[in-house]
Amino acid sequence: MKPGRYLISLAAALVIAALTGCATPSQRFDQRASKLGFSRHTVAGSEFEHAVYTARAPGWAPLLHVYLEGDASPRMAHRYSPADPTPHRPLMLELMALDPAPSVLLGRPCQHGLDPDCDPDLWTVGRYGERVVASLTAALQREREQSRASGVVLVGYSGGGALALLIAERVPETRAVVTLAGNLDLARWSEHHAYIPLSRSLDPATRPPLQGGIVQIHLLAGHDERVPPALTKASIARQPGATTRTYPEFDHSCCWETIWPAVLEDLAKALAERAKTPPNRPQGAARSAGQARYAAEGQRKHGQKSGQGPDAHRIGAPAPVPSRPPATPAGLILGCPAPQRQSARSRLRTGALFSEFFKSFKGTEGHPPKGRPSVS
């Protein structure tokens, strides 16, 4: 390459790097969402405007998956108020890209550049407070009604896990809650890190347990230093029928993409099993029977001994660590393996499981409004 062309190329690269480096977290979040093929719109909550990222074209669906991102940075939030509290790494966008079900990501107040003059309390000591939870709940219900979904699954990561539990108790259409490295005991978490107590927040650990009909799956990381599993297990144990899975080699941000397709399959099975439970049959009996059949099936398929199947994922027993795929350069930079894309066969299987759940609905709840196609 001639010296002149080399200098021009170098200058162009430096300009691109400078422009990328100057991008705000909100802009980088939008860029990643656009690259994944998601559309963005806003929905009004009770007090705030919320960004919504949609993975599927608007239309009717019996069940809507609603993803909630984590906090921007716990350390940063306790030292000073960031100019843009949007998460730097959009993990929920990556997981939503692996989800074959109709899904949306619901933005939190002050995030995504919607309110530059937002009260800093709303992403520091009050980030799980009444104003935040009430506005998210109102926005979620408007989004659900707009999509005409009869039920929702709440998926929350880190601080989004706390919000998922707090919102679920206010939304009667909640069918399931899934948390990943969820901050579910705020008092113990603040004390552990010697942070200022979240005095203007609602603590899931002190709230009444969710009703037993809601499927709960809580995923923990063995090497999580931000939300150590020991801080949340007592809070999870209060929840009726909650399932906990611990991945010993995972940390707070790595490597949730590698197991997400399998988690979605388990979720679909749990929802289908719950929908089949007769009204006069205790939920606990149905859950135990379903887990026993699922465990026996897994043991026969994989030649496992008793106690080594999926039922061993309960509290106090680590989940098996999935094999890690070869790391790509991007994976090496993040310190995590590259996410595995769900195969076509796996996506069809997961879609079929959700379809089985949808068919279990009775009456008008199980059928789309006139003129609307059924989505599974």
Domains and CATH numbers, the chain: 23-279+309-366 (3.40.50.1820)
How much is the pLDDT for 61?
Answer: 72
How much is the pLDDT for 122?
Answer: 86
Higher pLDDT, 102 or 88: 102
pTM, to two decimals: 0.70
pLDDT at 199 > cutoff 90? yes
Higher pLDDT, 167 or 7: 167
- How many angstroms separate the CA atoms of 33 and 28, rounded? 9
pLDDT tier for residue 170 given thresholds of 50, 70 and 90: very high
Among 73, 94, 43, 98, which residue's Cα sits nearest to residue 351? 98
Which residue, chain included where needed, has tokens 């790494």? 89
pLDDT at 374 > cutoff 70? no
Higher pLDDT, 146 or 280: 146
Among 121, 252, 249, which residue's Cα sits nearest to residue 193? 252
pLDDT at 207 > cutoff 90? yes
- How many angstroms separate the CA atoms of 135 and 294, rounded? 39
Higher pLDDT, 329 or 229: 229
Higher pLDDT, 371 or 346: 346
pLDDT at 215 > cutoff 80? yes
Radius of gyration of the chain (CA): 21
pLDDT at 195 > cutoff 50? yes
pLDDT at 156 > cutoff 50? yes
- How many angstroms separate the CA atoms of 357 and 376, rounded? 9
How much is the pLDDT for 371?
Answer: 37
Average pLDDT over residues 171-186: 98
Q: Per residue, what are the HEC states of 333-349?
A: HHCCCCCCCCCHHHHHH
How much is the pLDDT for 345?
Answer: 55
Average pLDDT over residues 111-123: 72
Rounded to 5 degrees, φ, ψ at 123 are -130, 15
Averaged pLDDT of the chain: 75
Higher pLDDT, 110 or 97: 97
DSSP H/E element including 79: helix 74-79
Which residue, chain included where needed, has tokens 């897994």? 298
Rounded to 5 degrees, φ, ψ at 112 are 70, 25
Using alpha carbons only, give the angle 55, 127, 180 rounded to the nearest 5 degrees. Answer: 50
pLDDT at 365 > cutoff 80? no
Q: Of the spans 103-112, 271-280, 330-339, which averages the highest pLDDT?
A: 103-112
| DSSP category for residue 204 | G
| pLDDT 10s digits, 39-95 | 999 999 999 999 999 986 555 678 999 999 998 654 444 444 556 776 777 899 999
DSSP H/E element including 92: helix 91-96
Is the backbone peptide bond immediately before 110 cis, with ω within 30 degrees of 0? no
Higher pLDDT, 1 or 352: 352
pLDDT at 353 > cutoff 70? no
| DSSP category for residue 318 | B
> Do residues 235 and 205 make contact, with C-beta atoms less than 8 angstroms apart?
yes
Integer CA distances (angstroms), 17 to 21, 22, 33, 303, in order: 6, 9, 20, 53
> Where are the alpha helices (H) located in 200-343, listed in sequence order?
229-237, 260-276, 283-302, 329-334
- How many angstroms separate the CA atoms of 100 and 268, rounded? 11
Which residue, chain included where needed, has tokens 């399998």? 262
User: pLDDT exceeding 70 applies to what percent of the chain?
Assistant: 61
